[in-house]
């Protein structure tokens, strides 16, 4: 039986969600009449219905060959109507009451493979890790430092969330523990990294983990926060520790949309926690949830952006990818890019139709959004409104794509953001700056100008992945780089240039490991003063992938 999710979308429209109480399910005839009447009503000003119905008819004429059958397009029309026009929601909910998904739609079983297979052989990587071998994309987990304890969560076996803690004073580990069960990647499904867990520790010591989402399951029904196909195989879930600072037992909360995808969160100075996510699969809005200090549940979400079918070709849909970052005790900066998606689910993997750089800030004291000019923004934002008010770099005009974006915090306080520029034969991160009332772009990333790293033999390093200055007087740094043999290296370096010069020369003093044909990521663990207390590293070589914790000159194996 479908468990239909009831959520308000009052942020999108200024009317109240219609409530419905039925003495049983709506009849097929009554439902069909009401559905048809709404489609006719809205088709006068919304050409998306005609475009979707045209795809349905073409599928029928081709004898429903392939996966995009006429029944598939019926589902897509229902989902578009359900997410875009909320008066359809009580009608649909009454009709499907007591029905299972396959009683509503005659669709084949999901094919979300290929099924994960345990590797027969794991390529050798350095010892000293604190996790088992990890599936999915390369990343360093999500962590919080509370007092002397680092809490770390990560996506473990078959994408389930795992959590562990390490005390910086006693050098003792607790865990890892399995914090919940993810529906991603189970059965015949492939490994999916969309629901990687985040962790927050509230002011009362309770540990919150959100994980597992990529569009929900068919049994969850249609998505009230999306115009997209509702299911890609994974529910977003929120669990909280049964006791403060205790990782051994977690309780599930029912306050996050199961359809959500992607995870990012921040705790503000007043103890409020903000969780950012996409409301469903590709053609879905981006949302944030707020958990007030002293509570253990998230409030109803606020919709940040809304996807819009293109007027000239409604099969194409303009949407966004956002990336938030806490930049002060009360502010969260949000960068985004424009993603040109489509209802046919065709994605050009050379660039994925990702364009531009946008910038705005959430003021958590009153919930307002504003752009770099301090102009207040009205939510939800569409492509038209982001182009008008928050555009920081027009990559489409420059003839290149911007595959990723991120906010930046500069020491001099200037407003800045970064974008990953891609073109023919190049891929590099660049900075955009807002000065004198306008954005300029193409600047080098912070800390990279006049910075030179020399390896242990005194040879200049051409490719530096990361450099994190440690707390020892600022003259020591952890570095990751590629040596002249193509190996990925983690090392400690000393600054050899004097403080009176703008140039920064760093000399590697000790290389802890080097791995051929491997990816290497490094994430600092910072205290409240911003100083680096420890480092979390990810080493991936083929199907081998582990996390490492480096502290006081050693890898702290668990």
Alpha-carbon gap, residue 360 to 55, rounded angstroms: 37
Count of alpha carbons within 13 angstroms of residue 434, beta-carbon side: 22
Token pair in block for residue 343: 């209802």
Do the beta carbons of residue 426 and residue 345 sit within 8 Å?
no
Token pair in block for residue 458: 């005194």
Q: Which residues contact 428 (CB under 8 A, 6 or more apart)?
A: 420, 421
Alpha-carbon gap, residue 197 to 265, rounded angstroms: 10
Catalytic residue among 92, 206, 262, 419: 262
Do the beta carbons of residue 5 and residue 223 sit within 8 Å?
yes
What is the widest separation between alpha-carbon atoms in the chain? 82
Using a 10 angstrom Cβ sphere, with 0-12 exposed, 13-18 middle and 19 or more buried, the burial of residue 164 is: buried
Token pair in block for residue 511: 């290389």
Length of the chain: 558
**Bridge partners, residue 273, by sequence:** 267, 291
**Ordered strands of the 207-211 beta sheet:** 198-201, 207-211, 237-241, 250-253
Return contacts of 37-40, CB within 8 angstroms, 24+ apart: 38/81, 38/85, 38/87, 38/88, 38/91, 39/77, 39/81
Do the beta carbons of residue 211 and residue 194 sit within 8 Å?
no
Alpha-carbon gap, residue 238 to 161, rounded angstroms: 11
Alpha-carbon gap, residue 284 to 320, rounded angstroms: 9
List, as one string, the DSSP characters of 364-404.
TTTTEEE-TT--EEPSSB-HHHHHHHTEEE-HHHHT-EEEE
Do the beta carbons of residue 416 and residue 433 sit within 8 Å?
yes
Alpha-carbon gap, residue 424 to 400, rounded angstroms: 8
Catalytic residue among 143, 194, 282, 389: 194
| Annotation marks residue 162 as catalytic | no
CA 220 to chain centre: 21
Alpha-carbon gap, residue 206 to 518, rounded angstroms: 37
**Helix runs in 180-240, H state only:** none
Using DSSP's 3-state secondary structure scheme, residue 7 falls into coil
Using a 10 angstrom Cβ sphere, with 0-12 exposed, 13-18 middle and 19 or more buried, the burial of residue 543 is: middle
Q: Which residues contact 204 (CB under 8 A, 6 or more apart)?
A: 244, 294
| Annotation marks residue 42 as catalytic | no
Alpha-carbon gap, residue 534 to 2, rounded angstroms: 46
Active site residues: 194, 262
């Amino acid at each position: 039986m479908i468990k239909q999710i009831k959520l308000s979308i009052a942020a999108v429209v200024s009317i109240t969600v219609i409530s419905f109480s039925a003495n049983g399910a709506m009849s097929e005839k009554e439902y069909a009449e009401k559905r048809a009447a709404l489609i006719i009503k809205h088709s006068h000003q919304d050409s998306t219905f005609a475009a979707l119905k045209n795809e349905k008819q073409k599928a029928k004429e081709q004898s429903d060959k392939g996966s995009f059958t006429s029944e598939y397009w019926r589902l897509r029309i229902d989902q578009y109507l359900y997410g875009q026009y909320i008066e359809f929601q009580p009608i649909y909910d009454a009709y499907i009451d007591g029905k299972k998904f396959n009683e509503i739609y005659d669709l084949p079983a999901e094919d979300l493979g290929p099924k994960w297979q345990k590797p027969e052989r794991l390529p050798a990587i350095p010892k000293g890790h604190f996790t088992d071998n990890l599936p999915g994309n390369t990343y360093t987990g999500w962590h919080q430092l509370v007092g002397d304890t680092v809490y770390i969560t990560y996506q473990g076996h078959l994408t389930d969330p795992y959590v562990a803690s390490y005390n910086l004073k006693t050098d003792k580990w607790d865990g890892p523990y399995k914090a919940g069960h993810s529906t991603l990647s189970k059965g015949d499904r492939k490994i999916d990294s969309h629901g990687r867990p985040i962790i927050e520790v509230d002011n009362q010591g309770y540990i919150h983990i959100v994980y597992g989402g990529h569009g929900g399951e068919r049994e969850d029904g249609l998505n009230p926060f999306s115009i997209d196909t509702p299911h890609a195989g994974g529910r977003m879930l929120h669990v909280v520790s049964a006791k403060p600072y205790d990782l051994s037992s977690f309780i599930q909360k029912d306050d996050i949309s199961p359809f959500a995808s992607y995870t990012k969160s921040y705790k503000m100075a007043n103890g409020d926690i903000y969780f950012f996510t996409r409301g469903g699969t590709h053609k879905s809005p981006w949302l944030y949830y707020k958990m007030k200090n002293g509570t253990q549940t998230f409030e109803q979400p606020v919709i940040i952006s809304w996807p819009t079918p293109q007027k000239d070709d409604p099969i194409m849909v303009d949407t966004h990818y956002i990336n938030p970052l806490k930049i002060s005790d009360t502010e969260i900066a949000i960068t985004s890019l424009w993603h040109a998606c489509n209802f046919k689910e065709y994605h050009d993997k050379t660039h994925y139709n990702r364009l531009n750089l946008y910038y705005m800030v959430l003021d958590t004291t009153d919930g307002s959004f504003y752009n770099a000019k301090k102009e207040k923004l009205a939510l939800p934002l569409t492509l038209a409104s982001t182009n008008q008010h928050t555009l920081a770099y027009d990559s489409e005009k420059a003839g290149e794509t911007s595959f990723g974006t991120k906010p930046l915090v500069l020491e001099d306080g200037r407003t800045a953001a970064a974008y990953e520029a891609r073109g023919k034969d190049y891929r590099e991160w660049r900075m955009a700056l807002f000065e004198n009332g306008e954005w300029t772009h193409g600047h080098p990333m912070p800390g990279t100008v006049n910075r030179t790293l020399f390896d242990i033999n005194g040879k200049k390093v051409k490719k530096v992945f990361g450099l994190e200055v440690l707390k020892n007087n600022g003259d020591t740094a952890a570095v990751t780089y590629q040596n002249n043999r193509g190996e990925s290296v983690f090392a400690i370096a000393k600054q050899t240039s004097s403080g009176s010069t703008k140039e920064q020369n760093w000399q590697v003093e000790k290389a802890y490991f080097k791995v051929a044909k491997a990816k290497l990521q490094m994430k600092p663990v910072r205290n409240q003063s911003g100083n680096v207390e420890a480092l979390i590293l990810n080493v991936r070589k083929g199907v081998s992938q582990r996390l490492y914790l480096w502290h006081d000159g050693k890898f702290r194996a668990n």
